[in-house]
Amino acid sequence: MHLRDLVQFLGELSENNNRAWFVMNKPRYDILRAEFLELVAQAVMQIAKFDPAIASCNPKKALFRINRDMRFSHDKTPYKTFFSASITASGMKKPSQGGGPSYYFQINAKGLLLVAAGEWLPPADRLRAIRNAILAEPAAFEKIAGGKKLMAHFGGLQEEDKLKRPPKGFEAEADAAHIERIKLKHFIVWRESSVAGVMPEVLLQDVVAGFKTAQPLVGWLRAVKTPLAEAAEA
């Protein structure tokens, strides 16, 4: 993986985010995409050593397209300025597709590596199931979410979009210590670092180390079943 070339390409793309430029530079993109895909494949193999459920994940399906979905966006630039992948046991990337918890990483035009794990914006039924699971065993969840290793590496769960009041159906828990976890809309950790001067093999080690630290969170989330999933398994 030529990280310097990737960051340079993404930087140029951010300044020339149009189809004409992209078509002209498509050969560069194809080479970099193939290299990134190989990085994803290596990550899948490494993750499977401590999370066997990931072994069946197809690296090609884990890779996100560079084309942006502009249907509901005021930003009409056609391309993303980062390469990214979401590695899941289900093989689905998006929560709306039933993707569930994932190991996610991206490299952007600023030369930043984002390593994340958990579940981002789960659908309503899935979100309620996670909240109910926390309510059922708050101490078990807190042991994972507030664990020393997770806190040291990621700084804890992200609180973006967190509710100010208890969600509907959880009002009775308003004074409970675990209500702050139940107010969350995402159950995810992430960390950013620069790729400047980093060798590809070291980057892979850093990515996998972060995922290994977050595996207990991913495993806990994966064990949470939505009502439909429970009915299908019955």
Listed in sequence order, the residues at least 6 apart from 104 whose beta carbon sits closer than 8 Å to its beta carbon are 84, 85, 86, 87, 114, 115, 116, 117, 120
What integer pLDDT is reported at residue 102 of this predicted model? Answer: 95
Among 84, 57, 80, 59, residue whose Cα is nearest residue 69: 80
What integer pLDDT is reported at residue 69 of this predicted model? Answer: 84
What single DSSP character describes residue 177? T
d(CA 94, CA 96): 5
What integer pLDDT is reported at residue 35 of this predicted model? Answer: 98
Q: Is 113 in contact with 193 (CB distance < 8 Å)?
A: yes
pTM across the whole model: 0.91
What integer pLDDT is reported at residue 71 of this predicted model? Answer: 78
What integer pLDDT is reported at residue 232 of this predicted model? Answer: 45
Strand ranges in the chain using DSSP code E only, listed in sequence order = 82-87, 102-108, 112-119, 187-194
Neighbours of 73 (CB within 10 A): 9
**SS3 assignment, position 215:** helix
What tens-digit pLDDT sequence spans the chain (234 residues)? 899 999 999 999 999 999 999 999 999 999 999 999 999 999 999 999 999 999 999 999 999 999 998 777 788 899 999 999 999 998 877 665 667 899 999 999 999 999 999 999 999 999 999 999 999 999 999 999 999 999 999 999 999 999 999 999 998 888 888 999 999 999 999 999 999 999 999 999 999 999 999 999 999 999 998 876 554 444
What integer pLDDT is reported at residue 97 of this predicted model? Answer: 65
Length of the chain: 234
What integer pLDDT is reported at residue 73 of this predicted model? Answer: 76
Neighbours of 37 (CB within 10 A): 17
What single DSSP character describes residue 70? -
What integer pLDDT is reported at residue 96 of this predicted model? Answer: 59
What integer pLDDT is reported at residue 91 of this predicted model? Answer: 81
